[in-house]
């Protein structure tokens, strides 16, 4: 799939940003990536809310092979082929994929905030300077006088 085809495909959905990614393109809207167009097909972002719809259509999650194993990416599922001929329904699925991507983004945020808060707290709290120890020689001099 080339850029022009993807732009036409998402016309009913609205404006999308298409960027080169891996062996194809990453597709985003409002700064959120929600679809991948790869040699293997078109994959939409999915979560526990939308995966049952993909399963009902007989779709499978994105997979790729390494030398050692096959990796399954459950967060992206193949778009049912019938949707390529129905741009209005494809737009509905794209909206659902964008919503799934936004939900995933929200789930990740608290972890970052906590880590950032810890870093900020560490930086903000001044460290106590270690007390200077008197050398044994100076301590002996003071007691002699």
* Nearest one of 9, 71, 69, 8 to 44, comparing CA atoms: 9
* Per-residue pLDDT tens over the stretch 92-109: 999 999 999 999 988 776
**pLDDT of 50 over the 60 cut:** yes
Instruction: Count CB atoms within 10 A of the CB of residue 99.
Output: 16
**Residue 106: its pLDDT value, please?**
84
Classify residue 102 as left (phi > 0), alpha (psi -120 to 50) or beta: alpha
Average pLDDT, the chain: 84
* CA distance linking residue 12 with residue 135, whole number of Å: 80
Residue 54: band (very low, low, confident or very high) from pLDDT cuts 50, 70, 90: very high
Contact 122, 62 (CB under 8 A): no
Length of the chain: 145
Residue 132: band (very low, low, confident or very high) from pLDDT cuts 50, 70, 90: low
Q: Domain 3-122 adopts which CATH fold?
A: Yope Regulator; Chain: A, (3.30.1460)
């Amino acid at each position: 799939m080339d850029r022009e085809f993807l732009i036409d495909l998402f016309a009913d959905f609205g404006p999308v940003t298409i960027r080169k990614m891996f062996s194809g393109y990453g597709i985003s809207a409002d700064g959120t990536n929600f679809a991948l167009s790869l040699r293997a097909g078109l994959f939409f972002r999915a979560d526990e809310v939308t995966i049952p719809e993909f399963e009902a259509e007989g779709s499978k999650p994105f997979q790729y092979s390494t030398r050692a194993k096959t990796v399954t990416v459950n967060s992206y599922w193949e778009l049912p082929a019938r949707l390529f001929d129905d741009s209005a329904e494809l737009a509905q699925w794209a909206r659902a994929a964008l919503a799934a991507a936004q939900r995933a983004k929200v789930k990740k945020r608290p972890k970052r905030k906590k880590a950032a808060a810890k870093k900020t707290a560490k930086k903000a709290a001044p460290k106590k300077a270690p007390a200077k120890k008197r050398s044994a020689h100076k301590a002996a001099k003071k007691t002699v006088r």
